[in-house]
Amino acid sequence: MVVMADYFMNPQQYKRLPPSQQVYDYLRDSGYGIIKMPPLGTPKRAVPAWISSTVDQIQEYGNRGFTVLLLGMNSIPGKGIWLTELKKELTKRRMNVPPLKTLSSSDFKSPDSTRKCLTGFLS
């Protein structure tokens, strides 16, 4: 299971970042289930409930033996996964933060470079 930034699903919304589908393609082809975090412009009043329901899922999958990973993007606030809010909710529930990988624009130079930086983390 991968909890990932909206950017990796909808890169066309992020004008200053590479318009790359490589992360989505890789996760899709590797058979990962995706939990997509809400985009940055999500109304503030909606965020706590989104975060809470995301942590509910992390907790449920974790309790049932799934590996849950976080995948963020460095140049987006909160790594695009609302990391501060996510950590706060996890801590409140005394849960560990799942393994986190953050990518940078330089990781998108080629499909190979993206694949290389994801392979170690996701395998």
Does residue 43 touch another protein according to CB under 8 A?
Answer: yes
Q: What is the DSSP letter of 79?
A: G
Place of tokens 């082809």: 29
* Binds another protein (CB under 8 A): choice among 23, 27, 70, 71: 27
Nearer to another protein, 57 or 75 (CB): 57
Does residue 100 touch another protein according to CB under 8 A?
Answer: no
Nearer to another protein, 35 or 95 (CB): 35
Sheet holding 34-36, edge to edge: 34-36, 2-4, 69-73, 100-103
Phi, psi of 11 (to 5 degrees): -65, -20
Amino acid at 60: E
Q: Which positions lie near another protein, rule CB under 8 A?
A: 1, 9-10, 12-13, 21, 27-28, 30-36, 38, 41-43, 45-46, 49-50, 53, 56-57, 60-61, 64, 66
